Structure 1
Amino acid sequence: MRSWLLLLGGLLVWAVHFFALYAVGSIFLTTDLARGLTIALTLVCLLVLSLIGRRAWLNRAPDAESDWIRVVALWGIAVGGIAILWQGLVALLI
């Protein structure tokens, strides 16, 4: 189970961020509260990604399976982080 959380952690955080921003945008529309919540959600999700990334980075073992899990997890975290930054950028532009 721990391996699956490492493998899918970045993408799961990205999905939570996406749906939370969709809810914020649907409920509060274009208010300043929506902008503040978007920035706060983005920062919280990036913090969670950094914690998962730290866990994946420190997951060093001599076997090939553990190394593969670490590399795939770090790539998923990188993709999730870029997507979260891209989605949160809207709050700074408007």
Structure 2
Amino acid sequence: MRQWLFALGGLLVWTAHFFAVYIAASLFPGEPLASWLTLGLTLVALVVVGWLGLGAWRVWEARGEDELRPWLGGIALMGAALSAIAILYAGLTAVFF
């Protein structure tokens, strides 16, 4: 179970960010507070995804006897990268447009 959470961590953060931004925009439509909440949530999500991506990079680089470990690190790294792009797209679009 821990390996699944590691591999899908970035995507889970992306999902949580999407719902949190949607809730903020729904509770405070058209208000500056929604933009500030979105900006804050985006920064927090990016920090978490960056932390997960750094851990995935370390696992991906570590070569050992277990052949699954680098593959799992690569999957987690790609998920974190995709999530960071999606979080930036959703968060900054909501703040600036």
Same fold (TM over 0.5): yes
Deviations 1:45-84 (A, max 9, x none): 0000011111111222412200110100000011111100
Q: Which stretches of structure 1, 4 residues or longer, exceed 3 Å deviation after superposition?
A: none
Aligned residues of 2:36 and 2:95 also touching (Cα < 8 A): no
Q: TM-score w.r.t. structure 2 length?
A: 0.90
In the alignment, residue 18 of structure 2 is paired with which amino acid?
F
Task: Considering Cα pairs closer than 8 Å and 6+ residues apart, tell me whether 1 or 2 has the greater RCO.
Answer: 1
Structure 2, unpaired ranges of 5+ = none
Taking the TM superposition and a 5 Å limit, the aligned residue runs for 1:20-31 are 20-31=20-31
Aligned partner of 2:52 in structure 1 is 52
Q: CA RMSD in A?
A: 1.1
Structure 1, unpaired ranges of 5+ = none
Aligned residues: 94
How much identity, in percent, do the aligned residues show? 47
